[in-house]
Chain A
């Protein structure tokens, strides 16, 4: 993908052949914003569905779209970090389900016969995030210390955690604090938002700045561009990768507790197959599975694109078979156009 010499300056890795001296202003524009064409596609899809069914632009329409994103946004954020390093995390959905039932189990036992407790609510959040992070640590250690491919490791944890989830609880756990459910379902800001959506959007902003502005983010891009040069440049690649998978796990834990709060239960069914929309959102958002490239604005647009397709196809009364067809089409379109733009700017 990128030349080795460019590793320490990852913002330039996308277009190694063109230096600033020879590029015309229009080429530079394309280089800088070309990967953000997902914004244009999202806008186009919103407009098309908005014309077919103006109900998309009502409060209920926005409510349906936003509520279809909060579960996938944290997963897709973690997946973006992982994919930028050139890895993949197939276990995010399984981690979501596992951390969700473990947190549910903890809350059920702490609550006893009580129906609510602020303390238990906070503990539920902490347990969910901690369990998710712990699963991520396991992924990271297996990948770096055992030197196994991320695909294999996270495929294994996907299966193992899927089973472990049912060992913790075969049935949904309903005995959770009412404060948590209030948090998950209460409509805010005049009914336009629910708290889980705001939390997910806050995550995007915080981690977006973290990825693009911090040295952690810089190292993430460097490793994805070329792990060997990154190592030679003084980056502790193993330690950094463990952190990245831990972050992905912790975010899956956050998603788990958000789903629990909104659905008023911790169910072993949750998170099943969630890795697919998460990876799709990241890829539609312009990230490269070979690493070194991707950003959270693209991931945000990718997630919303999938949500708008899901809701929009219901609004125009298309059966759900078409949803999957449309998302598949969006992935192919995203990658094709992205490569096309890239080739053009590399002339």
Chain B
């Protein structure tokens, strides 16, 4: 290429370079638009085709939110509306979520269903939709000021924390030390789970709650902290892993310390890996939420709001959690609570 160019006058070289550049940009754009049809998770079911609902989960690579997406897709298919799912695949953070919320606003969807990654930072970007008469519904997490929200849907997190405390008390026969392995504080769900757990634990006088550990959402970090906690506290009986990453790390840590069966781990959520750990005895209990129902209800309320059927919408919905343990994990009635790791845009559950 250089040789060819060397024999030409400079203007000729410039023209060749610019055309090569244009081709490269064009090809990138083509790849991107080709990628759009392949990778964009959107559906068009025709019937009420003019309605497009945007779903922005906290992070798109997590089975909890994938299960939520699947529930939303199934409902969108039922109602015949378009569903667009957008979000960061790498970080659960307002820094990555807000640019996406701002960008989607330029497309003016009919309604927004969103799991805000921060109770305060997302207020202004979400309120902008509401000011433009686009209904906004929060799922899973919510805002500190919920005044403009059409509805907020969550799985009761305080209740989930309580359920975890009861499960650990049962496993420990009401005596011994327990601790919480938390991700990082700050989101409403995390705080509520810790509050629920701590309050419920007070009901068991034989049990002592140790200082909470923070693993920054890293299973490896949780595993290291778990092993240290086991070494430091010989009377440690149980650990509550506050989310799926913490739960997985706690399970691995207990196994590495050789305490499987004597120190019990209760995890949160019911991701495929967690369910496998429960079946293998690494985890002793799981608190499963209802992400699919959250997603489906979010889309349903969005549809109701857009079509003016506001009487069907409840302002605040708190869904129940489900305790999964070694005795009920193989029952069919329990399996509907398992999360999925793959997206089914056609609304068909694998």
- Chain A interface residues toward B at CB < 8 A: 24, 26-27, 30, 37, 40-41, 44-45, 48-49, 52-53, 55-56, 58, 60-61, 63-64, 67-68, 71, 170-172, 174, 185, 259, 263-265, 267-270, 272-273, 307, 310-311, 313-322, 324, 326, 329, 333, 337, 340-341, 343-344, 347
Contact = CB atoms under 8 A, between A and B. Distances in A.
Contact of A316 (B2, B6, B10, B33): B33
B10 to A, nearest CB: 4
B273 interface: no
Ranked 7 nearest A-B pairs via Cβ: A64-B102, A314-B103, A60-B106, A263-B121, A317-B40, A61-B106, A55-B106
B27 to A, nearest CB: 10
A319 B88 CA distance: 8
Contact of A53 (B102, B107, B186): B107
Contact of B107 (A26, A264, A315): A315
Contacts of A63: 102, 105-106
A56 B107 CA distance: 9
Task: Bin chain B's interface residue count.
Answer: 35 or more
Interface in B52-86: 60, 84, 86
Interface of B: 2, 5-6, 9-11, 13-14, 17-18, 21-22, 24-26, 28-29, 32-33, 35-36, 39-42, 60, 84, 86-91, 93-96, 98-100, 102-108, 118, 120-121, 123-124, 184-186, 214
B39 A318 contact: yes
Contacts of A40: 18, 21
A311 B102 contact: yes
Contacts of A321: 39, 89
Nearest to A185: B124
A64 B103 contact: yes
Contacts of A64: 99, 102-103, 105-106
A263 B107 contact: no
A310 to B, nearest CB: 5
B14 A67 contact: no
B95 A269 contact: yes
A170 B184 contact: yes
B99 A68 contact: yes
10 contacts: A26-B14, A41-B21, A55-B107, A60-B102, A60-B106, A64-B102, A68-B99, A171-B185, A311-B102, A311-B103
A306 B80 CA distance: 35
A329 B24 CA distance: 10
Contacts of B186: 171-172, 267, 269
A269 B93 CA distance: 8
Given A41-B21, A41-B25, A172-B118, A263 B94 contact: yes
B99 A340 contact: no
Given A53-B106, A60-B105, A265-B121, 10 more contacts: A40-B18, A44-B25, A64-B102, A67-B102, A264-B124, A311-B99, A315-B103, A317-B36, A320-B87, A326-B28
A121 to B, nearest CB: 17
Contacts of A37: 21
Nearest to A268: B184
Nearest to B144: A174
Given A41-B21, A170-B184, A171-B186, A265 B93 contact: no
A44 B29 CA distance: 10
Most chain B beta-carbon contacts within 10 A, residue among A37, A53, A269: A269
Contacts of B17: 337, 340-341, 344
A30 to B, nearest CB: 7
A322 B32 contact: yes
B21 A315 contact: no
A48 B25 contact: yes
A45 B24 CA distance: 11
B136 to A, nearest CB: 15
B90 A320 contact: yes
A52 B28 contact: no
A45 B29 CA distance: 8
